[in-house]
Amino acid sequence: MTTAELWRQNQGRNSVAVEATGELPSGFPAHLRRRRFAGLGTVAGLALLLLALLLMAVHGVAAAHDDDPDDSEDEVRIVGVVLSAPPGADGIGIWSVAADGITYTVQVNSETKFHDDVVPGVGQRVRVDGQLLEPGLLLAHELRLESQDGSDEDDEWHGLLLSTPAGGTGQGLWVIQIGQGATLTATADANTRFDPADLSQFVPGIWVEIRGTLLPDSTVLASRIRMDEYEAGEVVVRLQPDAISSTVANRYGLVARSTLLADAHIYLLASPDDENEVSLVDLLRQDPDVVWAELNYVNSVPESEGYKTWGWGDRSDEYINQYAFEQVGLPAVSAYYTGTGILVAVLDTGVDLQHPALVDRLQLPGLDVVSGDTVPQDEGPPPGGAPGLAWGHGTHVAGIVARLAPGSRILPVRVLDANGRGNTFLLAYAIEWAVDQGADVINLSLGTPYNSQVLQEAIQAAIDRGVVVVAAAGNSNTDTPQYPAAYADVLAVTAVDGANRKASFANYGWVDLAAPGVGITSTVIGPEGHGYGSWSGTSMAAPFVSGGAALVRTKLAQPSAAPGGRAGVLAVAGRLRESARPLDAYDAQYGDKLGGLLDLEAALLEQEPVPLELRLFIPWIQR
C-alpha cells in the first residue's frame, strides 16, 4: 500500500464519528471531522465496494438511479476522473475512469447520452450512469461532466507546502508534507480553483488544503487548493439571548451542528456550500439576531526547529538534571514547593497515557475532541503509515510540566491531530471543559494568527473563574501577535537558548515572559515506544511557565487562601512577571523585548529587601 493510500486511510478514520470508549460530556461536538466526498474513502471501504460489485454482478442488484424511477435493477453510478477517452469527437469507444481508488472500464456506444451534449475530456470529473456488466466494467447510459470546484465528491488533505509549479499559473505539480517523511503530490490544471487567487501568497512553509481525487498512481488531481486558514463550510456565531439557533440557521440554509456555551448562545453552524464562507460571515453579521459571526479558524502547533531524539528508555538523567531547570531557578525551590493540589490541563496532541514518567501523574479520564472520545492518547501512525508532524508534541509538553511541578496533576486534553492541526471552536470547547473539571492552570502550546472571538470569550471566561492561562508566543521570529497568547491576562511565553539569548525562531516584543526553549529534553512517544527526546520551540517554553504558575499558586495559598477569580489569576501572573530576571545583559538586541526570564527562586523564596539606593537604578521596566 502506498504512503498516500495509508494516509488517506488514516484520514478516513479520523474524519468520521468515532465510537466513544468512554462517556462523552453533554453537548460534545458531534461533527469533529467530516468527509467531503460521496464515495467510500478507506481501504476497508474499497473492499466493501468490491464485494458489493461482485454481488451486483452475480445477483443483478444495483443502486437505484436518482433521476429515473424506471431504472433497471442493474443500474449503477460512479463519479470519478477520466484517465483516457476515445479519440473521436463523438466519444464512442472505451473510456477509463478512476473512482474511489478503482479504475473502471466504461463502454460508450451510440445509445449513450452525453448530458448537454458535452463530451468530457481526460482529467475532467464525470458522473457515469450505466449497467454493470462485470466487476470494473460498465456500459454507459449517460455521461455527465461534474463540477470541478471542490464539490462533495472530493477528498481532502492538509499539509505543509513544500513546492509549487513554476510559471505563475499554478498549473503543474504541487507537493505537500503530510507526515514525517511522507509527501503528497497533486496536479493542478486549468480547472483547479485557487484560494486566494493571488498565487504569490502560496509560499513554501505555509499550511494548505488540497481537495481532489486520489488517482491509481497515488497522486491527486486537484480541484481546489487553498491556504489552510479556516474550516471549510463552517461558521461560528453568537446569537442574541432571545434568538433560536435553528431559526437563524434555516434562514441561511445552514445546520446548527454544535453548541459551545449554552448560556452564551455560541453555536457552530455548517453550510452545504463550503465555497463562500467569508461571504456567509459578512451576511450573518448584518442579521439583528446575531451578535457576532466569524470563521472557524485553524490553530496549530507553532513551526519549530524540528524534532530530534537522543535516546529511548524508561528513564532519562538528562531529562531530570538538564541545565534548563537551573536557568529558571528550580533546584532552589523544589524542596519547598511542588504544586501539590494543583491541576494543570495540557491542551495539545494528547499525551502518552502509559509513559512511565507520566502514568502516575495523569488525571483521567481526559478528553479527545479530535476523535470524539475520552482517551486523549498522543496517537501515532496507522500500521505501515507515516507519523504525523506533531506526534509526541503533547507528551513532550506534559513532561516539562511534570518536572517543574512534580506534585501537580496533569489533565490531558487532545485538541490537535497528529499533524498538530485543530480549530478555534473545538479549542474553545476544550477550554470550557477543562475549567469545568477544576483546572487551575491551562497550557496552550499552540496558536493562530487570527483573533478569534469564540476563543477570546472562552479564555476570558476561564480567567474569570480563576484559571491561569499560559500560551506559546509562536516561532515566526516576528513581533506580530499570535493568539491566544496575545489576549489580555494570558501569560505569553517566548523562548531563550542556554545563554539566555532569544531563540532564533522566537517571537518577541509583546510577550510577558521568557523560558528555555532550545533543545529541551522531555518525555516523548515514538517508533520505539516510550522514551525521551529533545525538541525546540516556544511550545517548550510555555510549560516551564505553566509549571511555575502551579508552584506560585501553592505559594499564594499559604498561609491563607489565595484570592479567587480573576484577582487570583492576576496575583499569580503579577508575581511571575515582577520576579522575572531582566535579559538586557544577555541579549543587547532583544533583551528588553522578551519580558524577562522566568525566575522561580525570586518568585517563591523570600528575599532580603533591596536597598532603596539600588532600587533607583533598576535597568529594566515592565512593559
Catalytic residue positions, numbered: 348, 393, 539
Cell of 386: 507515516
d(CA 46, CA 52): 10
How many Cα neighbours within 13 Å face the side chain of 41? Answer: 24
Reading across the β-sheet that carries 529-535, which strands appear in turn?
A: 307-312, 529-535, 520-526
Three-state SS letters, 136-184:
CEEEEEEEEECCCCCCCCCEEEEEEEEECCCCCCCCEEEEEEEECCEEE
Task: Tell me the Cα Rg of the chain.
Answer: 27
460-465 contacts at long range (C-beta below 8 A, 24 or more positions apart): 460/487, 460/488, 460/489, 461/261, 461/264, 461/432, 461/435, 462/431, 462/432, 462/434, 462/435, 463/489, 463/490, 463/566, 463/569, 464/565, 464/566, 465/435, 465/565
Spatial contact of 523 and 319, defined as CB atoms under 8 Å apart: yes
How many beta carbons lie within 10 A of that of residue 25, not counting itself? 13
DSSP state letter for 465: T
From the list 174, 166, 294, the residue with the least C-alpha distance to 223 is 174
From the list 103, 9, 125, the residue with the least C-alpha distance to 50 is 103
